[in-house]
Structure 1
Amino acid sequence: MRKVGFMQYKDHTKEILPKTYKVNEKKSQRKMFCIMINQFLCDEAKFSLKNTDLFKNNLLNIFENKIESFFQIYKLRPEKSQKIVHIYHHDSILFNQYFKHSKNPKMRYLAKDMDYKSNFNILLGYSHPASDLIQLIFNGKEIEMMLDLNKIFTQTIYRRIKQEINKTVTLDTPYIHIDQHGIRTRLYPRWKHVDPKNLHKRNKDISEGFTQLNNEEIDQCYLVYPKTENFKRHILVKGESSNQIKMIPYSFTFCNKEKKQCQK
C-alpha cells in the first residue's frame, strides 16, 4: 500500500509527496496533494488553491496555517469581548490535545492551561471545520499524516467526474461506477506505474479486470492510472473473447497552472 503525507523527526518534517507526469516541483506536488485532500473536507476546511504562496511551505505548515485561521490566533488579546455564537464542547477537547502536542508556539500558548490526557482517543461526531483538518494529521498521540494514495486518488477522480443529465456516478470503494444510457462503466483507479512496452507488469490488474467484466454486472471496465512520460494515451486490451478493457492515463498537469496576473 502506497502512503503519502508527512512524518516528524525531531525538528525536521519529512514529506512523502505523490509524483506524476510533469508535476515535478515541490510546490506543484503539494498543490496536487491538497487538491486530493480537499475531496475529503467540508467547504470551510478546504485549502485555497489560488494562493500559490501557500505551497512554498511544507505540508505540516500548510495544515497548521489553515487550522490557525479558525482561531484568530493573531488576536489573542482582543480589545473587547466577543459574543459567543456556538460552544464546541466535544471539539474543544480535540483542539486542546492537538495544541498540546503541537510545536507551534501559538498553539501551545492557547492550551497552556489545559491538562494533557494520556488516554485521549479520537472520537466520532466532531462538527467544527478545523476538526476535519486536525483528524487528518493527529491520531491522538502524535502529529503525522500517512494516507493511502489509492484511496485519495480514487476519491479525487470521483469528485472530478463531470456531472451530466441522465448520468449517475457512484463511489463503491475501490471502484467508481458510471451509469448512463443503460450502460454501466466501472473505473478502477490505482496509483501504479504503467509502461506500455512492459504491460506484463500489470497482468494481475488486467486479469482482474477481465474477471470482473465477465462475472459482474458491468458493461465496461477501465483501469485508471497516473499519467507518465510513456503512458499518455489510452491502451485497449483485448481478451480471449470479444471483451476488451481500457487502461486510462489520468493527468494532474493542471496543478502546474498558476493564476495569471494582469499586467499594466
Structure 2
Amino acid sequence: MNTNINFIGFNEEKEFLCKDFDTFNSEVKLRQMFLNLSNNILKPVCNFTRYEQRNLAKNSLKNAFIYKINQMLPFSYLKKHVNNFSFNLCINSTKIINNYLNKEKKNMFFVSNTKLLPAAKLILHCYINNNIQVLIDKHLLFHEFVLYKVKRMHKDKEVIDLGDSISIKAKDICSLKIYTSWKSINTKKLNIKDELNSAIKCIKEKEFNQVYLAYPKYEGFTKHIPIVVDELKNKQYQIKAIPYSLRSIIRNK
C-alpha cells in the first residue's frame, strides 16, 4: 500500500487508489471499495447501491460519478419555464444544474424543482472550476467505515464519534476507545508512534483503560497485536493494534 497517497479518488484524468492490501488486488475491487466508502462521506447526497458499486467499478470512477449525477437528474423535475404554482422552484439548484447541463449542451436553460437539491449538491461537490474531481482523505474514509461497523455491532451501547477516535460505553463493562488510521502496519517494527502516544495519554488521564488502534487488514497484518508499554506498568490497561477487514465491501449480498 502506498502510504504517500493521503487522498484517494480521482480527478479529470487520473485515479488515485490505495493498493496491495487485503483482497483488493485489482482496480475493479479498489474502485468498488472507494464507491462503498464514499457513501459514508457523501450521505445523504449520494448513495451507490451494492449493484452500482459492483457494476460501475468495471469502468472509471469518473464515469461512475457522472452516471450517478445523471441518474439523479430525472427531467420530470426540470422545466423550461414555470407554468404552475405547484412547482417548487429552487434557485440555487437551478443555477448549479444549468451550469452542469450546459457543459456539453449549450444554450439550454431549465428551472429546477427542490427535489433536485441532492443532485445539485453532488454536482457542487464533484466539480471544481468545471473539472470533475472527487478526492477524499483516506483516514477519514477508514474512520467513517469503522464507525459505521461499530454502530451496527454495538446497537445496545453508546457509540460516540470523537473526531480523532471512537468511544464505546455501556453499563457494567469497561469503556473502550478506538483510534483509526489508514496505514500499512509493519508487524516486525510497529510504525504506530502517533497513535500509541494518544493511547498512552488517554490511559494516563484515566479516561479509558482499554484502547484499540485500528488499521486496515492486509496479508502481513491479520491478527491482533497486544502492546506493552513500560511507562504504564503500574496501571491496569490494554492496548491492541487491530486489523480491520474491509472485505464486507466486496461480498455479494
**Secondary structure at 1:39's aligned position in 2?**
helix
Distance in 2, Cα, partners of 1:249 & 1:202 = 13
Letter in 2 for 1:28: K
Letter in 2 for 1:48: T
Where in structure 2 are the equivalents of 1:46-61 lying within 5 Å? Answer: 46-51=47-52, 52-61=54-63
Kindly indicate whether residue 246 of structure 2 is the aligned counterpart of residue 252 of structure 1: yes
- Alignment match of 1:133 (pick from 87, 100, 122): 122
The answer to whether the Cα contact below 8 Å between 2:179 and 2:214 also exists between their aligned partners in 1 is: yes
Q: Which residue of 2 aligns with 1:172?
A: 162
The answer to whether the Cα contact below 8 Å between 1:5 and 1:17 also exists between their aligned partners in 2 is: yes
Q: Which residue of 2 aligns with 1:112?
A: 107
In the TM superposition, residue 7 of structure 1 has moved relative to its aligned partner by 1.6
Structure 1 residues 247-256 or 228-237, which shifts more? 247-256
Q: CA RMSD in A?
A: 3.0
Distance in 2, Cα, partners of 1:228 & 1:222 = 17
Q: What's the CA shift string for 1:134-173, capped at 9, x where partnerless?
A: 2332235532122111112111111122254540111111
The answer to whether the Cα contact below 8 Å between 1:137 and 1:143 also exists between their aligned partners in 2 is: yes
Structure 1 residues 153-162 or 175-184, which shifts more? 175-184
Letter in 2 for 1:98: Y
In the TM superposition, residue 220 of structure 1 has moved relative to its aligned partner by 1.8
Q: Which residue of 1 aligns with 2:225?
A: 235
Kindly indicate whether residue 203 of structure 2 is the aligned counterpart of residue 213 of structure 1: yes
- Aligned CA distance change for structure 1 residues 137 and 178 (closer, same or farther; 3 Å): same
- Percent identity, please: 25
Q: Which ranges of structure 2 fall in alignment gaps of 5 or more residues?
A: 110-114
The answer to whether the Cα contact below 8 Å between 2:15 and 2:61 also exists between their aligned partners in 1 is: yes
Q: Which residue of 1 aligns with 2:112?
A: none
The answer to whether the Cα contact below 8 Å between 1:5 and 1:147 also exists between their aligned partners in 2 is: yes
- Alignment match of 2:9 (pick from 5, 22, 25): 5
Q: Which residue of 2 aligns with 1:118?
A: none
Structure 1 residues 137-146 or 187-196, which shifts more? 137-146
**Secondary structure at 1:128's aligned position in 2?**
helix
**Secondary structure at 2:57's aligned position in 1?**
helix
Distance in 2, Cα, partners of 1:48 & 1:258 = 12
- Alignment match of 1:192 (pick from 170, 183, 189): 183
Letter in 2 for 1:153: F
Paired residues in the alignment total: 234
Where in structure 2 are the equivalents of 1:64-75 lying within 5 Å? Answer: 64-72=66-74
In the TM superposition, residue 34 of structure 1 has moved relative to its aligned partner by 1.1
In the TM superposition, residue 84 of structure 1 has moved relative to its aligned partner by 5.9
Q: Which ranges of structure 1 fall in alignment gaps of 5 or more residues?
A: 103-107, 115-125, 260-264
Q: TM-score, normalised by structure 2?
A: 0.80
**Secondary structure at 2:131's aligned position in 1?**
coil
In the TM superposition, residue 217 of structure 1 has moved relative to its aligned partner by 1.7
Q: Which residue of 1 aligns with 2:15?
A: 15
Distance in 2, Cα, partners of 1:4 & 1:82 = 45
**Secondary structure at 2:95's aligned position in 1?**
helix
Distance in 1, Cα, partners of 2:70 & 2:184 = 37
